[in-house]
Amino acid sequence: MLAADPVGNPGHFRQPDNPAAWLFSPAALSRAKAPCGDTVTHSLAGGRHAYLALAAGAVTVNGVRLQCGDGIAISGNSDIQIGALQRSELVLVDTA
């Protein structure tokens, strides 16, 4: 689920249901709840960076195991493969 999206000016983002939450960066903020066994791929464009924070559960990110409270940074032109090992909640920031 996209938690912040572009509005109006490039680089200005707001949370869809809360106009008081603004990001002043060319970023997208996504949050997800994943059941055990669920997998998803996020494509990261060249020159972009991502940070994934795990709020609950356990996942693998490109083969690296993360537990609740862990985070991982990824840069470059690549696909980010996320697999839920348990029921999980995560936040992904995709930024320039």
Which is nearest to 44 in space by CA: 74, 71, 24? Answer: 74
The position carrying tokens 């990110």 is 61
Q: Has residue 16 been placed in a domain?
A: no
**pLDDT tens for each residue of 6-60:** 454 444 444 555 554 556 667 788 889 999 999 999 988 888 899 999 999 999 9
Q: Has residue 43 been placed in a domain?
A: yes
State the pTM of this model: 0.75
The CATH number of the domain where 84 resides is what? Answer: 2.60.120.10
30, 88 Cβ separation under 8 angstroms: no
Q: Has residue 59 been placed in a domain?
A: yes
61, 82 Cβ separation under 8 angstroms: yes
Residue 58: domain span: 28-95
Q: Has residue 1 been placed in a domain?
A: no
| Overall domain count for the chain | 1
